[in-house]
Amino acid sequence: MPMLKYEQIADSLRRRITEGEFSPGDLLPSGRDLCEQWGVSRATVNKALDVLRADGVVVSRQGLGFRVTDVPLARPAGGRRANTTRVTGGRPFRRLGTPTQEMPPSHVREALALQPGEPALRRDRFVLLDDGAPLSLVTAWFPSDVADRCPRLAQDGPITEGTTNYVARETGRRPLRGTDITTVRLATAEEAAHFEREEPFAVAVDLHIAYDDAGRALVCEEGVTPGDLWEREDNYSMSSDS
């Protein structure tokens, strides 16, 4: 399905931000300039900018226009339901280490449907509490057919627009279905060191797999959260008429 005009504008601005034309804190082109460039109404431009704001890519300042966010957001693993945004579910984060091609653990290899001996691209991040302390250690694994087409996944630093939008733009594959599996276990020694806690302590592990419309895995994320910090709230209808 072809993108609507406001989606094209949002997509173009995402690309320009990701490719470094606009850095964190930079002012985006004015609404008037975007209207002239794209030959659209101000309402269409405003809708495009609202999409970017909901994704946590830009922030607005009264009378100053829209700027690229200084603090990109990321969400803990799981809970990526339709119509949710990084603004409502996201938190500040920091990247850990450098992305690397590695042999994933067996449960990740199975989730990504990898062949024996096939590596995946690993990216680690800490999702943070309001005071900057670590909330959740998230490891994202990307299969080669995604990583090869998305070179920025292998670079240090955050992708301001978020990996979901970036992968969708570069591959033409969007997540259509997600699977979340939550388990509980004791933290490993490596995890205890990351959280600067003494063993033993319990962690909740959220395994999230996103699939495209052909049922192929786009990413497998594993989020590890200390048990005293883990919480999930679901609101849903209990009416038989819905």
Kindly report the CATH number assigned to the domain that includes residue 62: 1.10.10.10
Same domain? For 93 and 57 the reply is no
Contact 158, 93 (CB under 8 A): yes
Does the pTM exceed 0.75?
yes
What pLDDT was estimated at residue 241? Answer: 65
What pLDDT was estimated at residue 149? Answer: 96
Residue 11 lies in a domain: yes
Same domain? For 14 and 79 the reply is no
At residue 126, φ and ψ (nearest 5 deg) are -105, 120
Same domain? For 38 and 80 the reply is no
* Number of Cβ within a 10 Å radius of residue 51: 20
- Dihedral angle of Cα 71, 75, 76, 78, to the nearest 10 degrees: -170
Residue 241 lies in a domain: no
Give the domain CATH number at 172.
3.40.1410.10
The pLDDT tens digits along the chain (242 residues) read 678 999 999 999 998 998 889 988 999 999 999 999 999 999 999 999 999 998 888 998 777 789 998 888 888 888 887 777 777 778 889 999 999 999 999 999 999 999 999 999 999 999 999 899 999 999 999 999 999 999 999 998 888 888 998 999 999 999 999 999 999 999 999 999 999 999 999 999 999 999 999 999 999 999 999 999 998 887 788 877 65
Structural domains in the chain (count): 2
Radius of gyration of the chain (CA): 19
Residue 239 lies in a domain: no
- CB burial of 191-227 (b: ≥16 within 10 Å; e: otherwise) equals bbebbeeeeeeebbbbbbbbbbeeeebbbbbbbbbbe
Same domain? For 103 and 200 the reply is yes
Same domain? For 48 and 80 the reply is no
Same domain? For 91 and 209 the reply is yes
